Structure 1
Amino acid sequence: MGPVLHSRPMSRNLVIVESPAKARTIERYLGPDFHVLASYGHVRDLPENPGKGKFGVDIEHDFRPEYVVPEDRRKQIEAIAREAHKADAVWLATDLDREGEAIAWHVAEAAEVPPEKQRRVTFSEITETAIREAFAHPRQIDTDLVDAQQTRRIVDRLVGYTLSPLLSKKVRGGLSAGRVQSVAVRLVVERERAIRSFEAREYWTLSLDLITARGETLTAELARIDGKPAEIGDGAAAEAHAAMLRALRPTVEGLTTRASRRSPAPPFTTSTLQQEASRKLGFSPKRTMSIAQRLYEGVKTDDGQVGLITYMRTDSTALAGQAMAEARTVIQERFGDDYALAKGRVHKTKVRGAQEAHEAVRPTSFGRQPEAVAGSLKPEELRLYRLIWQRALASQMADKRLETTTAELGADRYGLRASATRTLFDGFARVYTEGRDDDAAADEAEGRLPALAEGEITTVDSVTPAQHFTEPPPRFSEATLIKALEEHGIGRPSTYASIISTIIDRGYVRVEARRLVPEAVA
């Protein structure tokens, strides 16, 4: 399939982007003086089959890469070179991350675009304001970013082409290794070993239903025995303690009420978007990124071809000031002043080496509410857009306010505790609450304690012993493996989806009940 041409053939400005969809959206804002071509992604790479004992990298001469133009990209390069020769300026409008910078450089090199014609432009959203701002301030290609991408590509090739033949020879034919994928497989295997070696420990808890002097009921848990945390290891001991408690009259010894606040989660990074889409929507990382790409590059709406979200490969949680201001307006109009903040909430990025110049994943306009674009989107696109819109909007809303009341009761050698939490103001939770992983602590159930007073004596209505066993760490889901990779500094936002797809597709790991299980070969 040949490159997509846009605008008039006599245009003196040539614009290069990666995809036809992105080209269609951008062309709305550039006018007839610009001619848009799509490169269809990377136009050069290391050779797939460099020959026996070779890597496509000259390790004797400073690891110089030996790039080739793949057969299916030659028409694109020929078209770009032809149009670049006629143009006064060549605007390299590929993505704003390391990969995009490398694509811009490869295009310029392969098409032999003279340096004086090159104009590098980047933007984090495909909107008229962002496009015009970017084209008003072009720059040169950032060679540091290009060198960083080349270094990663070279290391990937050296690791993969060195270890893969060894694995095929020593373990099984057709196996491969990689700088990142091998570490991901190791994490899954080590977790499986921890699960298999885990020895469960039995323990028991006691729950008491109490009746106050006014006939109201409350539930308390056994918290202490002889002043120490309650530890009951078997059913016989649990029943013995239960029998003693049934005969006692617990007395209220202390009452405390504590106010607390919960702040919203920050807007999405690539990693957290993939994790949350896995938890809440059941999407694989690969599917999430494919849908997000479409939302970023633009969809047909009543207003024409429109980019709905900002660039989806980012590790920053920052929002532009203009976006925070628009979010505040939407919050005030939709939910009232109590839910809005006087000043935008700034979320600190926690990822090591995050590129703070980028923005988080957010809607290009908070005013473009999910229900307003529902008719223009496929069901899966609408679900992901709604998730992104809700998360970003909630990040700029007021805190959720809670109140927790705790009653401490004493009965002979036993200490009991009853507590209840209630919401005073729902704040951001009216729009969005973050999903949780298996090993995350659960929120306390909402409820209220009956009116109690210190010194009040209660009656034990029932005591229920419950048997439990300690549990091994859970198997990784796609979401929790991404989280672990990020915490260990392994891979980049742009690579998480492909890493997981690779280890599944190559048969090292299988998905079972949405969990990652290592195969024997792993």
Structure 2
Amino acid sequence: MAKNLVIVESPTKAKSIGKMLGSNYKVRATVGHLRDLPKSKFGVDIKNNFEPEYIKVRGKAKTINELKKEAEKADKVYLATDPDREGEAISWHLEYLLGLDPNEKNRVEFHEITKDNVKNAIKNPRTIDQNLVDAQQARRVMDRIVGYEISPILWKRVKSGLSAGRVQSVALMLIVDKQKEIDAFVPEEYWTITADHEIDKLKFVSEFYGSTSKKMKISNEAGAKKVLDKADKNNFKVVEIKKSKKSRKPPKPYTTSTLQQDASNKLGYSTKFTMQLAQQLFEGIELGYDGSVGLISYMRTDATRISQEIVKESLSYI
């Protein structure tokens, strides 16, 4: 019988990690949150330091009971939910539901689903990071306050069924402010003058700058004609050539936002589809003899850190 219980969020990840850890470990999935604010009421005590009121998520009673039974049988329980705010909060709720000691080091993070990373993480557990939990709770409470307070106003004034969010409400305000700037902008006419050149089969284009001492702005057609009339079109002279060296760094590894931007701009993928693909690559893809292997590090991140394991392997391969 397995001595250790490892709890993750995704069944796919549970399957991949289970193969890597072996028979002494049983890996189970929560499939998302197990406790949350109630949907039927506000669920936040504004007068008592914004204390949230948590209840078990509807439909998760069976999962909670199964995890409790497995935890009672195990010598050690590892909380291995995703390495972000949401994951930390899910582990915190699990700690409460399973009656685990909050001072015990039972939280592990898998930033990459590879054998070495998974085994190293199991060897180095920590306690729950209350700062991350508080950050997630603050976000959830703000969602509830903004949504429940502003949405009813939208139903009355705009349209029934609309919702106001913690992020989308502010984003909408920024868009409106920017549109006001655009509407207030007074356009100015400007002209540019360019010339095509060819010297010893070398072709290049020059652009009118002004006098040798200062740049000149051309704001209408008459000004452009005046410059052209003064220019000796058959007598151009190169007076200076400047050469410089530039170093260009390779692009940084993707963060969540840059991944979504590139996927949208280059491939036309929606944000949701991009994150679904990234989740699959993170949790593991079947690679024949090697079994299920995670191919990217955790995709919800603002960090551009490169895994030391992949750096080592890349240098060795090169």
Shared topology, TM-score over 0.5?
yes
- What amino acid is aligned across from residue 75 of structure 1 in structure 2? K
8 Å CA contact retained: 2:155, 2:161: yes
Q: Write out per-residue CA displacement over residues 259-303 of structure 1, whole angstroms, 9 at most, x where no aligned residue.
A: 221112211111221222222222222222121111101111212
**Alpha-carbon displacement from aligned partner over 1:397-416 (angstroms, at most 9, x marks no partner):** xxxxxxxxxxxxxxxxxxxx
Looking at structure 1, the residues matched to 254 and 208 of structure 2 have their Cα atoms a distance apart, in angstroms, of 41
Pair 1:274 & 2:274 matched:
no
**2: CA distance, partners of 1:138 / 1:283:** 37
In the alignment, residue 258 of structure 2 is paired with which amino acid? T
What residue number does 1:18 align with? 9
Residue number in structure 2 paired with 1:79: 66
- Preserved CA contact (<8 Å) 2:105 2:125: no
> Are the counterparts in 2 of residues 205 and 232 from structure 1 also a CA contact under 8 Å?
yes
Mean alpha-carbon deviation: is it higher for 174-183 or for 295-304? Answer: 174-183
Aligned counterpart in structure 1 of residue 115 of structure 2, from 123, 128, 150:
128
Q: CA separation in 2, counterparts of 1:134 and 1:245?
A: 72
Superposed CA deviations along residues 98-154 of structure 1, whole A, max 9, x for unmatched, are 211110111222233455887211121011101111111222222232122112212
Match 1:251 to one of 237, 241, 266: 237
Instruction: Give, in angstroms, the shift of residue 76 of structure 1.
Output: 0.8
Does residue 300 in structure 1 map to residue 291 in structure 2?
Answer: no
Instruction: Provide the residue aligned with 1:59 in structure 2.
Output: 46
Taking structure 2 as the reference length, what is the TM-score of the superposition?
0.91
Q: Which of residues 146, 152, 163 is equivalent to 2:133?
A: 146
Higher share in helix:
2
Kept after mapping to 2: 8 A contact 1:78/1:111: no
Give the match for residue 208 of structure 2.
Answer: 222
**Distance change in 2, residues 1:86/1:116 (3 Å):** farther
Matched residue pairs, number?
Answer: 317
Question: Do the aligned partners of residues 216 and 20 (structure 1) sit closer, same or farther apart at CA in structure 2, a change above 3 Å counting?
Answer: closer
Q: Is the 8 A contact 2:80 2:109 kept in 1?
A: yes
Q: Which moved more, 1:82-91 or 1:111-120?
A: 111-120
Which segments of 5 or more consecutive residues in structure 2 lack a partner in the other structure? none
Match for residue 156 of structure 2? 169
CA distance 1:181–1:215, change in 2 (3 Å): closer
CA contact 1:81–1:113 (8 Å) conserved in 2: no
Structure 1 unmatched ranges of 5 or more: 1-9, 333-522
Identify the residue that residue 377 of structure 1 maps to in structure 2: none
Residue 482 of structure 1 is matched in structure 2 by none
Check if 1:96 corresponds to 2:83.
yes
CA distance in 2 between counterparts of 1:216 and 1:82 reads: 79
- 8 A contact 1:22–1:298 mirrored in 2: yes
Question: Is the alpha carbon distance of 1:296 and 1:316 closer, same or farther for their aligned partners in structure 2, counting shifts above 3 Å?
Answer: same
Q: CA separation in 2, counterparts of 1:126 and 1:88?
A: 24
Paired residues for 1:4-15 under 5 Å: 10-15=1-6
Structure 2: distance between partners of 1:310 and 1:211: 52
Letter paired with 2:36: D
Kindly report the root-mean-square deviation, in angstroms, between the aligned alpha carbons of the 2 structures.
Answer: 2.2
Residue 249 and residue 100 in structure 1: after superposition, are their counterparts in 2 closer, same or farther (change >3 A)? same
| Shift, 1:247, TM fit | 4.5
* Residue-by-residue CA offset, 1:65-90 (whole Å, 9 max, x unaligned): 21111222111111111211222221
Partner of 2:222: 236
Select between 312-321 and 94-103 the one with higher mean Cα deviation.
312-321
Q: What is the aligned counterpart of 1:196 among 167, 183, 195?
A: 183
* Residue in structure 1 matching 2:192, options 179, 188, 205: 205
Instruction: Check the 8 A contact 1:277/1:283 in 2, yes or no.
Output: yes
Structure 2 vs 1, CA of residues 107 and 217 (structure 1 numbering), >3 Å: closer, same or farther?
A: closer
Determine which structure has the larger strand proportion and give its number.
1
Rate the CA distance shift 1:72–1:263 in 2: closer, same or farther, 3 A. Answer: same
Q: Alignment identity in percent?
A: 46
2-structure distance, mates of 1:233, 1:43: 65
SS in 2 for 1:202: coil
Contact 1:44/1:69 (<8 A) preserved: yes
CA contact (8 A) 1:295 1:309 kept: yes
Secondary structure (helix, strand or coil) at the match of 2:192 reads: strand
Give the AA of the match of 2:71. Answer: A
- SS of 1:254's partner is coil
After superposition, give the CA deviation of every residue in 1:162-207 in whole Å (9 maximum; x if it has no partner): 2222332344332322222211122222333333333332211111
Amino acid of the structure 1 residue aligned with 2:264: S
> Aligned partner of 2:49: which letter?
D
Structure 1, residues 6-65: CA drift from partner, whole Å, max 9, x if none?
Answer: xxxx32221111011101110111111211211001111000111xxxx21223333222
Q: Give the TM-score taking structure 1 as reference length.
A: 0.57
The 3 A distance-change label for structure 1 pair 222 and 108 is same
Q: In the aligned structure 1, how far is the partner of 2:232 from the partner of 2:34?
A: 77
Q: How many angstroms apart in 1 are the aligned matches of 2:64 and 2:121?
A: 24
- Asked if the contact 1:57–1:64 (Cα under 8 Å) also holds between the matched residues in 2, the reply is yes
**In structure 2, what is the equivalent of residue 178 of structure 1?**
165
Mapped partners of 1:148, 1:210: distance in 2: 61
Distance 2:273 2:185 in 1: 34
**Counterpart residue number, 1:485:** none
SS in 2 for 1:37: strand
Letter in 2 for 1:36: V
**Counterpart-to-counterpart distance in 1, 2:201 and 2:11:** 72
